[in-house]
Structure 1
């Protein structure tokens, strides 16, 4: 009979880097990870951690993303601006010894790379949908400026995507309306926090 090793029996807790596109810490995003995996060591890093709010350019590029700063302020930043800062955050977590990196953003960040497993919500969602044979989806975007970039991104990945905007915390009725009127066989919340 095989021996089952429980997580609390591991010598030295495995470590996971949690990367936000804003500033760390983000307990609103990371508390669930800590609760679900109490024997894992989580290290947070933020792409904008070393930048002041005044240093952030207005989002004028092809893919605006929304995030929060350490002070709680919500900011909209373009994915192209974030990419090199996010890569720096990845590199810093790798130097700190993490064994896995999890991106806390649904953006693509195609050029993001590291020498340990990198979990990207967009790539994971695509794989899950394909595994289930789903190609027609209804996608919920957190704000209107993301609708068209999100539609293009899902279509480029081979999905028929109908995109609607709803705030994921305050707009539950709007989400229900999107679900009820859409043609997709699945609803995708294209947003992490």
Structure 2
């Protein structure tokens, strides 16, 4: 049996920077179809939903590779429309390509969100005497990172940022600096808190500072696979 999975980005599809790695984890039993909250919007319409004062900043990617900052509050109805679209394609489950927090959606099929999976693994892995390091995709999200992860029972949280959508050369240079800071802070677990961070990003970071480093896309893929594999085994 081949499972059909809808991958829903908060930016524009196709996410050629994300979905191939997810598919490599899922394997041949999974067919992926994609949709994006911003797929039908012009540049002018996208600019109109950029974050205003007091709105939550989320970061994603347009299909031409450009980074885009979006208001979470204005994003919700766009995601709801694309959930309905993916359901109309007969998907068995939907994977949300964003590690941010969201309110509950009304969905007819399982909607797998990486944020609760990521949080659960962090809480299961870190100890009260250890330091958690978090890498956000934008400096505008530093305070959000501290707030988001403040409930984790650990000694301290250190939050830094780098965009996964800048050139690899620039990204790796910044990651090297973050690795040095995390080493000085004695960080024991690292969360790269954006779906845009790749396996290559995580591997590079670990080559500079060898501690467990989590990326949402891998956990999302494993969550989908576990969910539907259990369903298959029970059938």
TM-score interval, normalised by the smaller of the two chains: 0.7 to 0.9
Structure 2 residue corresponding to 1:191, chosen from 191, 194, 198: 194
Per the alignment, in what secondary structure is the counterpart of residue 107 of structure 2? coil
TM-aligned CA deviation for residue 72 of structure 1: 2.3
Could you list the per-position Cα deviations for residues 28-59 of structure 1 after superposition, in whole angstroms to 9, with x for gaps in the alignment?
A: 11111233323311110101111111112231
User: Are 1:165 and 2:161 matched, yes or no?
Assistant: yes
* Alignment-derived partner of residue 24 in structure 2: 35
TM-score, with length taken from structure 1: 0.84
- Choose from 53, 59, 62 the match for 2:51: 59
Q: Does the CA-based 8 Å contact 1:17-1:100 persist in structure 2?
A: yes
Gaps of 5+ in 2: 197-235
Distance 1:184 1:117, change over 3 A: farther
Classify the secondary structure of the residue corresponding to 1:151: helix
Q: Which shifted more, 78-87 or 54-63?
A: 54-63
CA distance in 2, matches of 1:191, 1:140: 8
- Determine which of 177, 180, 184 is the counterpart of 1:181: 184
Supply the distance in 1 between the matched residues of 2:134 and 2:106 (Cα, whole angstroms).
26
Equivalent residue, structure 2, for 1:49: 39
Q: CA 1:115/1:161 → structure 2, altered by over 3 Å: closer, same or farther?
A: farther
Which one has a larger percent helix, Structure 1 or Structure 2?
2
Kept in 2, the 8 Å contact 1:66–1:75? The answer is yes
RMSD of the TM alignment (CA)?
Answer: 2.1
Mapping of residues 107-186 of structure 1, within 5 Å = 107-134=100-127, 136-156=131-151, 161-168=157-164, 169=168, 170=171, 171-186=174-189
Unpaired runs of 5+ in structure 1?
1-9
Q: Return the offset for 1:129.
A: 1.6
Deviation at 1:19, TM superposition (A): 0.9
Q: 1:173 to 1:130 in 2, by over 3 A?
A: same
Q: CA deviation at 1:166?
A: 2.6
Residue 77 of structure 1 deviates from its aligned partner by: 0.7
Match in the other structure for 1:75: 68
Secondary structure of residue in 2 paired with 1:185: strand
TM-score, with length taken from structure 2? 0.70
Q: For 1:161 and 1:88, locate their aligned partners in 2 and report how far apart those are by CA, in whole Å.
A: 36
- 1:24 matched to 2:13? The reply is yes
* Kept in 1: contact 2:127–2:153 (CA 8 A): no
3-state DSSP of counterpart to 1:27? coil
Shift of 1:182: 3.0
